């Protein structure tokens, strides 16, 4: 457990809890702790799905600008790689991941939310990439993940302007997947991933790898990746259990062991 990031596990769901009041500003220590916790969540067999949560008031309002303003080009030319690596560790968690967004998800906070598979938010949230207002650009994947999610023109609008986006517009743009009352965010996020507890975890891992890997390459390469991963599922006990249960009892009644 880190000082500012911890992993809480309950009933098969791991919560990556950001806890650096008042705004969860993502300083360098927090970034490093995030990478460690994401690696742990990936490895633990008692975790089937993950929720990223900043608490009831704010998800994460961006980087720690007081810390960042002291950094030189020489320093950031090295540190920027570690920054991205910490977010990649989250994006590479081989399990369903949902960001539970309250208050603000701005700059690095929004980039962290983009690393999740799904995003649930309160109806009062603001999201965006305001780095341009500081004379810089997103550096933790914002220009890349945002573009892949909503397309280049919409991504350029948000990055070029640095504007804050309210929940309704964020939902229409595809930045959010579900809007709920502010007090219901965490519970809604847990409900979204709870069905994956006890599911065919190796098949879920393969599906996530196929989708995330395929979007980075041309269609032919993506189809080849899918074919390879599809074949690997036939080496699992879950595949045997799933097909035998289907033949004997119909769909949706199999018991999976994650093997």
Is 108 an annotated catalytic residue? yes
**Contact in structure between 120 and 99 (CB atoms under 8 Å):** yes
Nearest to 92 by CA among 4, 216, 1: 216
In angstroms, the CA 154 to CA 255 distance is 43
To the query of whether residue 111 is one of the catalytic residues in this protein, the response is yes
Tokens of 121: 């938010």
Sheet holding 13-18, edge to edge: 5-10, 13-18, 49-53, 97-101, 118-122, 178-180
Three-state DSSP at 137 gives coil
Q: Name residue, tokens 């595809």.
A: 174
Q: Do the Cβ atoms of 111 and 142 come closer than 8 Å?
A: yes
- Residue of 25, 100, 128, 131 marked active site: 131
Q: Is 125 exposed, middle or buried (0-12, 13-18, 19+ CB in 10 A)?
A: buried
Catalytic residue among 25, 35, 41, 63: 63
In the annotation, is 109 catalytic? no
Q: Is 55 one of the catalytic residues?
A: no
Q: Which of 54, 62, 108, 141 is catalytic?
A: 108
End-to-end CA distance of the chain: 28
Contact 129, 142 (CB under 8 A): yes
Q: Which position among 111, 116, 167, 203 bears the catalytic label?
A: 111
Q: Residue 54: name the closest of 109, 8, 123, 93 by CA.
A: 109
Dist. CA 191–CA 194, nearest whole Å: 5
Catalytic residue list: 63, 108, 111, 131
């Amino acid at each position: 457990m880190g000082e500012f990031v911890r992993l809480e596990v309950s009933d098969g769901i791991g919560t990556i809890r950001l806890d650096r009041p008042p705004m969860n500003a993502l300083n360098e220590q927090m970034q490093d702790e995030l990478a460690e916790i994401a690696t742990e969540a990936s490895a633990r067999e008692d975790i089937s799905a993950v929720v990223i949560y900043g608490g009831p008031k704010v998800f994460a309002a961006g980087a720690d600008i007081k810390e960042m303003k002291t950094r030189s080009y020489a320093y950031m030319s090295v540190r920027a790689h570690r920054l991205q690596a910490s977010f990649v560790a989250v994006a590479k968690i081989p399990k369903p991941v949902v960001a539970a967004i309250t208050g603000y998800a701005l700059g690095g906070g929004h980039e962290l939310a983009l690393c999740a598979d799904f995003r649930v938010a309160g109806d009062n949230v603001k999201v965006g990439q305001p780095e341009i207002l500081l004379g810089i650009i997103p550096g933790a994947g914002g220009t890349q993940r945002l573009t892949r999610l909503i397309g280049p023109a919409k991504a350029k609008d948000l990055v070029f302007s640095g504007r804050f986006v309210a929940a309704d517009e964020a939902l229409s743009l595809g930045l959010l997947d579900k809007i709920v009352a502010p007090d219901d965010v965490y519970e809604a996020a847990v409900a979204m991933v709870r069905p994956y507890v006890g599911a065919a975890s190796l098949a879920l891992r393969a599906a996530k790898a196929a989708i995330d890997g395929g979007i980075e390459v041309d269609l032919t390469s993506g189809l080849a990746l899918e074919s390879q991963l599809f074949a690997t599922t036939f080496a699992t006990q879950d595949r045997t259990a799933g097909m035998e249960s289907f033949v004997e009892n119909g769909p949706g009644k199999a018991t999976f062991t994650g093997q």
